[in-house]
């Protein structure tokens, strides 16, 4: 019988103001969309959703909203450090919002994590319903996602396109990586000598870009 253990995993959603972070969460959690959302101030609310995995197991995604306006540096490092999944969001009709992911958000968040080994990254090009006003080249976004090993989708919080898919794929990838991590941990448990501290630091640097 499949293991039905339920794990909780912290997902933080980041990106410029107005790209649709809060809207994506509302669409995913409640299946609703609001044309006139209120700008998130400070650290946004936490939402929890149970995700059934293909294996028959489940995870609880703890989805934390953030405010694009205030940028991540104002948020407490303690809030970020135990995140296991980061969803980077830009607006396909706003090239600057994509450029800021590349030049600021990704690097900033990676630099604030204690350990990004097994970190799962997603990239959502939101507002895909506004494709007629698209400014961000799909190929460029796909190539960038590949370069940071991110799951990529163009989403629409408005009509729900690819919203469920991106959250589910992130949860599945987290589960896959975590299974391997647990196996590694089991192996470490039978090691006679503990891992050398310098080696440990080297490993962390290797996985952080």
Q: Which stretches of the chain bind ligand GTP, using CB under 6 A?
A: 17-23, 34-37, 39-40, 67-69, 126-127, 129-130, 156-158
Question: Does residue 177 contact residue 53 with C-beta atoms inside 8 Å?
Answer: no
One of 15, 25, 33, 40 touching Mg ion (CB under 5 A)? 40
Q: Which is nearer to ligand GTP, 40 or 88 (CB)?
A: 40
Q: Is 22 in the site for Mg ion (CB under 5 A)?
A: yes
For 138, other C-beta atoms within 10 Å of its C-beta total 14
Min dist CB 70 to ligand GTP, Å, is 8
Min dist CB 62 to Mg ion, Å, is 17
Min dist CB 13 to ligand GTP, Å, is 8
Contacts of residues 202-209 at CB distance under 8 Å and 24 or more positions apart, as own/partner, are 203/117, 204/115, 204/116, 204/117, 207/116, 207/117, 207/118, 207/119, 208/110, 208/113, 208/116, 209/110, 209/148
Region binding Mg ion by CB under 5 A among candidate stretches 4-12, 36-44, 120-128, 183-191:
36-44
Put residue 152 in one of left, alpha, beta given phi > 0 → left and psi -120 to 50 → alpha.
Answer: beta
Q: Which residues bind Mg ion (CB under 5 A)?
A: 21-22, 40
């Amino acid at each position: 019988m499949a293991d039905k253990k339920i794990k909780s995993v912290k997902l933080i959603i980041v990106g410029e103001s107005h790209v649709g972070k809060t809207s994506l969460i509302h669409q995913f959690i409640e299946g609703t969309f609001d044309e006139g959302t209120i700008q998130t101030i400070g650290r946004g609310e936490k939402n929890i959703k149970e995700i059934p995995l293909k294996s028959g197991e489940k995870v609880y995604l703890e989805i934390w909203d953030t405010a694009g306006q205030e940028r991540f540096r104002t948020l407490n490092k303690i809030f970020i450090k135990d995140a296991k999944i980061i969803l980077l969001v830009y607006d396909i009709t706003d090239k600057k919002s994509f450029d800021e992911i590349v030049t600021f958000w990704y690097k900033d968040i990676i630099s604030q994590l204690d350990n990004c080994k097994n970190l799962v990254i997603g990239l959502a090009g939101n507002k895909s319903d506004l494709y007629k006003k698209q400014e961000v080249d799909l190929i460029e976004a796909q190539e960038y996602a590949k370069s940071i090993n991110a799951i990529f989708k163009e989403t629409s919080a408005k009509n729900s396109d690819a919203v469920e898919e991106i959250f589910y794929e992130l949860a599945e990838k987290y589960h896959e990586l975590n299974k391997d991590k647990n196996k590694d941990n089991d192996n470490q448990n039978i090691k006679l000598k503990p891992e050398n501290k310098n080696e440990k630091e080297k490993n962390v640097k290797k996985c952080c870009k």
